[in-house]
Amino acid sequence: MPGTSTASGEQGERRAIRRALAHWRALGRLAPAGVASPWARTEPVATDWRRWLDTALMALGTALLCAGVIVFFAFNWQDLHKFSKFGLLAGALTLLAGFAWLRPAGDTAGRAALGGAQVLAGVLLAVIGQTYQTGADAWQLFALWALLAVPWALAARAAPHWWLVIVVGNVALLRYFSIRFGMEGVFVLLFDARYMRTASLVLLGAVVLQLALWELLCARAPALGFRGQTGGRMLAALACVHAGSLGLASLLGSHFDGAAFALALVVLAALIWWFRQRAFDIVVLSLACLTGIVLAVAAIAKVLFEGKDDFGAFLLLGLLTIGLAAGAAAWLMRAWRSQLERA
């Protein structure tokens, strides 16, 4: 079975050809008849659909298998001896690891087995914690799970396995800071006005470091699975969320924090510069522009409505929002076309 990296490369090449054809057609460089023939050669063929179906069914089967293991333990928890629980999970992990070891390098089924092992490693940690009542908090479970997921990701050498590490690691960070600040849960941490600014600042710093590390590894170690745009998009989206939260917290607090607001804008500007000049990604640019518009509108609204209630300010705010959105859309279109011309 072909490796997923080869399939991804072919899909990326076809996508680039389609974008170039659409761009040239929009500029009038190609007639409709001149687009039809090369466009048809970029359409998926039967082999591509079979490859996609294999990957989709493999991912679905792995997810259902992991869900079945979790439901099995939840339903039979009281009836199973603790050593039976550990033995079943250890046996499942061994079978998955052995199956992946027997498969060729880069095989989809082998990578799916390693993904299942990543999930079951977290289940094993949860079973240990529940069996022995270690008293460990949830953030410790997720942190250890993220650490245990790293060797499986290194063995798989595929980007989706690193996505799981990113998700689990950031959940651990959220839970850790909610405990550190004495919050009852993650949502209270993110939306409580007393800690929103501090939490957003710390989480923003952590995500920016992760994003810098991801981009560095994508440049230096793509063979280990650090490739593609999804991982960077996940971290950049988190950075936009935390930057937006930091900016809003600095505006909506009892006292305006200019330094925090400026820091949020600097992070957004850095994201826009990096994903425009170094690693072009229209999705991240759109998210950063959206976050910037939200902060700009919120700042102007604070000035307009502070100490007064003027209905005309709503009209002005609406027009400003439309203008900023239109300007951002025009800039994004120019950036997109410029990138196509470079390609």
User: Which range marks the domain in which residue 218 is found?
Assistant: 201-343
Helix (H, G, I), strand (E, B) or coil at 1: coil
Q: Among 15, 155, 50, 182, which Cα is nearest to 97's?
A: 155
Q: pTM, whole model, 2 decimals? A: 0.86
What pLDDT, on the 0 to 100 scale, is given for residue 2? Answer: 42
Kindly state the average pLDDT of the residues 66-95.
Answer: 90
Residue type at 8? S
- State how far the Cα of 230 lies from the Cα of 251, in Å rounded to an integer: 31
What pLDDT, on the 0 to 100 scale, is given for residue 184? Answer: 60
Position 340 in a domain: yes
Position 67 in a domain: no
Res. 159: pLDDT tops 60? yes
Residue written as tokens 């170094």? 278
Position 284 in a domain: yes
Backbone dihedral angles phi then psi of residue 117, each to the nearest 5 degrees:
-65, -35
**Averaged pLDDT of the chain:** 87
Going from the C-alpha of 162 to that of each of 147, 211, 237, 286, the distances in angstroms are 11, 13, 16, 24
**How many domains in the chain?**
1
Position 265 in a domain: yes
Kindly state the average pLDDT of the residues 286-291.
Answer: 98
Position 215 in a domain: yes
Most confident stretch, 78-92, 194-208, 319-333: 319-333
What pLDDT, on the 0 to 100 scale, is given for residue 162? Answer: 97
- State how far the Cα of 59 lies from the Cα of 158, in Å rounded to an integer: 13
Element (H, E) at 265: helix 258-273
Position 44 in a domain: no
- State how far the Cα of 125 lies from the Cα of 64, in Å rounded to an integer: 20
Q: How confident is the model at residue 307 (pLDDT cuts 50, 70, 90)?
A: low
What pLDDT, on the 0 to 100 scale, is given for residue 314? Answer: 86
What pLDDT, on the 0 to 100 scale, is given for residue 186? Answer: 60
Position 254 in a domain: yes
Kindly state the average pLDDT of the residues 255-259.
Answer: 89
Residue type at 208? V
Position 167 in a domain: no
- State how far the Cα of 120 lies from the Cα of 69, in Å rounded to an integer: 8
Kindly state the average pLDDT of the residues 283-293.
Answer: 97
